[in-house]
Amino acid sequence: MLATLLLLAGAVQAAQPGRAAVATPHPSATVAGLETLAQGGNAFDAAVAISAALAVAEPYGSGLGGGGFFLLRQAGEKPVYRFLDARERAPLAAHPRLYVRDGKVDPALSLDGPLAAAIPGLPAALADLAGHYGRLPLADSLTPAIRLARDGISVDRIYRERASWRLSSMRDDRETARLFLDDKGEVPEEFSLLRQPELANTLERMARYGKAGFYSGPTAEKMVEGVNAAGGIWSLRDLADYKTVERQPIRFPLADGRELIGAPPPSAGGIALAQSLAMLQELPWRKADRVQRTHYVVEVLRRAYRDRSLLGDPDFVAIPQTKLLDTDYLKKLASGIDVRRATPSSSLPPSPPLHEGEHTTHFAVIDKDGNAVAATLSINLPFGAAFTVPGTGVLLNDEMDDFATNPEGANAYGLAASQANAVGSGKRPLSSMSPTFIESDQEFTAFGTPGGSRIPSMVLLSVLEYLDGQPVSRWPAVARYHHQYLPDQIEHEPGAFSSSESAELQARGYSLKPLTRNYGNQQVLFWNKAKGSLEAASDPRGLGLSEVLEVEKMK
């Protein structure tokens, strides 16, 4: 569902939007954000409310048992950008051979059950956002989510689809089956009511005690006891030691006075986007027909994704960020692109690709003062590890699978491993989550989507729509295709290319892989400072709702 509201030009000064806008993938989360803004909260309070509401309404995509990245804009004469890393951390007892049994990796161990779960980061992020940046008490911003968890949320078609994909794993855990399946262990009927009273209790403890309400005391004790009783390796110290990390966002100059503000490592997305846009600036992509533009986009993605094996948790490995974003280096990469022919990935220096779960979530919010948040949250695969800690309502992530789980060089999917992203005690796994801003004196935009390793390519295609002057509603709706160096193929949505376009791409040397369904769920914002207008749009592929809040409805 797409809802885009355009405000009248000239209504505000360039320094502030004067109104607020919210774009989320679920109407209940949008309402939670709008409610919080109407009560006098700022964008950071709204981000807390939205994140917590999504934890209730989209248990298949994010939750208190997961983590995420928050890109922040603090308004002012000169905006300040911050990046809050709430990525999950490996338990302290984790080690490179954690998933090796009898000399071979057992892929199920990093996908299902508590051994697949890293230490959650989202609860800490909510407390930190409220405590360091918000105007309202944490309890006020958590109120909508607590209400949703107690009163129930209607099961929709996306919930049913995601649950059907993970049905077997969900049935294997008694608590997950009890909470998220029907009485017969089947996917609940559409419009049936999903109530989560244990999760409401956990949220209420957070509302009362803040971060300590999750990472210590009764909740922490239940988490550790439940995880370890089922074969996990958590400790109370793992929870007590968890902290979010404030990192410097990627800041990369673009043409026409614009600047990209993106996600730094342990996200691979910000660097990939900066590299891709820098290479495209060396190519005549704007004047190209559709096939030629696709050719340019695929070739820059091929080169950007190749560099991802150099990335990992910056607290554990050295990241050659300066080299990867060096102008001369990127010009050299662009100069190696053949104008007419595909570059076989095998002809480029090898670099292992990355596997990630696709089913994360993303939202964006901006308040009347110009504070803004773009956040991508995840528990990895749909319904995470399909393991819910008894007595807490917390469905755990399976983010440990985002590490290179095979120390001998290939992960459970047959993909070569990156030693920079090997399993390690206390490490954060590499991610493609890419909350992104682009700002100039005249405009401010926010982008982001779920989608695993396809996230940077999706964001890139939406950014190109923006740079090409297309309407905001087109940005999240654009047809999607993807190339990630290996496998050497263009994946694309059904109908993304006509038969003649497909034939021409194949004639250029590309292998095309049509997918059976659409993917991604992008949420975007656009503040035109010069015209005094504000717009928000949600991906038509999902059930999202984007709205603009009038000044008179805010305190």
520: left (phi over 0), alpha (psi -120 to 50) or beta: left
The string of DSSP letters for 193-241 reads: EE--HHHHHHHHHHHHHTTHHHHSHHHHHHHHHHHHHTT----HHHHHH
> Percent helix, strand and coil across the chain, each rounded to 5?
35, 20, 45
Where do we find the tokens 């190109």? 464
What does the alpha-carbon distance between residue 470 and residue 266 come to, in Å, rounded to a whole number? 32
Helix (H, G, I), strand (E, B) or coil at 435: coil
* Residue 84 three-state SS: strand
CA dihedral sign of residues 82, 88, 94, 95: negative
Helices (runs of H) and strands (runs of E) counted in the chain: 17, 22
Q: What is the torsional sign of CA 401, 407, 412, 415?
A: positive
Catalytic residue among 24, 30, 244, 360: 360
The CA-based diameter of the chain, rounded to the nearest angstrom, is: 69
83 neighbors 72 (Cβ within 8 angstroms): yes
Torsion on CA atoms 313, 318, 321, 326, rounded to nearest 10:
-160
Taking the C-alpha atoms of residue 429 and residue 95, their distance in angstroms, rounded to an integer, is: 13
Burial of 283 (0-12, 13-18, 19+ CB in 10 A): buried
Please give the Cα distance from 406 to 149 (Å, whole number): 38
Rounded CA separation 251/273 (Å)? 11
Instruction: Compute the C-alpha angle 468/484/438, nearest 5°.
Output: 35
* Cα atoms in the Cβ-side hemisphere of radius 13 Å centred on 217: 13
CB count in 10 Å sphere of residue 416: 16
Cis peptide before 266 (omega within 30 of 0): yes
Neighbours of 165 (CB within 10 A): 15
360 included as an active-site residue: yes
User: What residues are labeled active site?
Assistant: 360
